[in-house]
Structure 1
Amino acid sequence: MEPRTSPLVAHVLRLRPGEDLLRSLEAYVATHGLEAAVLLTCVGSLDGASIRFANREDATWIPGKHEITSLVGTLSASGGSHVHVGIADGDGVARGGHLMEGSRVYTTAEITLGALPALRFSREPDPTYGYDELVAYPKE
C-alpha cells in the first residue's frame, strides 16, 4: 500500500455526562466535515459500556462505572468510523473492543481528534476476510 501523508489539525472537545461517546464523536466529525480524522487521546469515564468483543457479532453491555483507559480509531464524515475502547472498572479489571452506541459518559470525556485535511477515508471490501477496511485517498 502506498503511504499517504497530511498535515494534522488538532480538535479538542469535551463530552458531558449522559452523552453517547460514539454518536457524539460521529456527530462532531459530520458537523465539521472531517473526511479523515484519528483519535489522538481521550480520558474520562463511562456509566455502562456497549462493546463488541473480538470475533463476535453482537455487542455486550457492561454495566457500572468505568474509566476510559484507551480510545483509538479512525473517523470520517462520509467514510464511516472504526473505534476501539479500553475500559477499567473500580478494581482495575480491564476490557476492550469495538465501541458501540449506548456507551454513555459518566463524568467527562476529554478528547483530542487529529484531522488530516489532505486525506479522505473510505471503507472498502477487503477479500481477505470480507470486511470493509480503511483506504486513504488524497483529498481532491
Structure 2
Amino acid sequence: MRTFEGDTGEVVLQLEPGDKALESIEAAIDEHGIDTGYVASGIGSLTQLHIHYVSGYDSFPDFPDEDEEIDEYVKEEAAWEVGSLQGAIADGEPHLHITAFDAEREKMLAGHLEPDSIVHALMEIVIQPIEGVELTRRPEQMDIPMLQER
C-alpha cells in the first residue's frame, strides 16, 4: 500500500496485489489521522470479495425482531472488477459500500465491504477528510448505528 496526501488533506491510496482493501483503508485513515470524512472514489480489481447485505425482504416494511439476523454474508473468489467503492467515515471508522462485477460468470454483487477482500492487480482509493464537524455512530431504531454529532 502506498498513500499520498494532498495540500487540503485528501489521501490517495494505491493498493497492490495481495493487499486487503478494508484493512488498508482503515490503516490509511489511522495513519493520516482522519476522524470524519468520506471515501469519494474507489476502483480496481479483487481476487476475493467479502461483503454483507441486508436481506429479509419478506419482513419489510416492518423490520424483524432484534434477535433476528437480517445480514447475509458473501465471500467469493473470482476476477472481480470494482466499479465503485464509497462511504462515510465517522470516529475514524469507515462504513463502505462496494459494487463489483465478475465477467466470467456475468455476476454483479453490491454490499458493505468486509475484511479479507483481497486486491488482484490494483485499487485506487481517494479519501477526503471533512473539517468542522465531528461525527460518530450510535445505535437507534433496531439497534442500527446512525450518524450523529459528537
Quickly name the TM-score band, shorter chain normalised.
0.7 to 0.9
Q: Does 1:98 align with 2:105?
A: no
Q: Which residue of 2 aligns with 1:36?
A: 36
Residue in structure 2 matched with residue 71 of structure 1 by the alignment: 85
Q: Tell me what 1:113 maps to.
A: 127
After the TM superposition, which residues 13-28 of structure 1 pair with which residues of structure 2 at under 5 Å, given as runs?
A: 13-28=13-28
RMSD of equivalent CA atoms:
1.7
Q: Aligned partners of 1:113 and 1:136: how far apart in 2?
A: 20
- What residue number does 1:88 align with? 101
Question: What is the CA distance between 1:106 and its match in structure 2?
Answer: 0.5
Answer yes or no: is the 8 Å Cα contact 1:39–1:113 preserved in 2: yes
Match of 1:130 in 2: 143
C-alpha deviation, 1:121, in angstroms: 2.0
SS at match of 1:98: strand
For 1:24 and 1:75, the matched residues in 2 are separated by: 14
**Cα pair 2:29 2:92 within 8 Å, conserved:** no
Q: Runs of 5+ in structure 1 lacking a partner?
A: 1-7
Q: What is aligned with 1:3?
A: none
What is the aligned residue count? 128
Write the distance in 2 (CA, Å) between the matches of 1:103 and 1:25: 11
Report the alpha carbon displacement of residue 103 of structure 1 after superposing the two structures with TM: 0.3
1:133 counterpart letter in structure 2: M
Determine the C-alpha separation between the residues in 1 that align with 2:108 and 2:148: 30
Question: Which amino acid letter does the alignment assign opposite residue 103 of structure 2?
Answer: G
Structure with the greater alpha carbon radius of gyration: 2
Whole-angstrom distance in 1 between the partners of 2:92 and 2:19: 23
The SS at the match of 1:119 is: coil
Residue type at the aligned position of 2:134? R
The answer as to whether partners of 2:20 and 2:119 remain within 8 angstroms in 1 is yes
> What TM-score does the superposition give when structure 1 sets the normalisation length?
0.82
Which structure 2 residue ranges, 5 or more long, are not aligned? 1-7, 56-69
Deviation of 1:81 after TM superposition, in Å, equals 2.1
CA distance in 2, matches of 1:79, 1:115: 10
1:62-118 superposed Cα distances (whole Å, 9 cap, x missing partner): 211111111011124x35221111000124531110110010010111111111122
When normalised by structure 2's length, the TM-score is 0.77
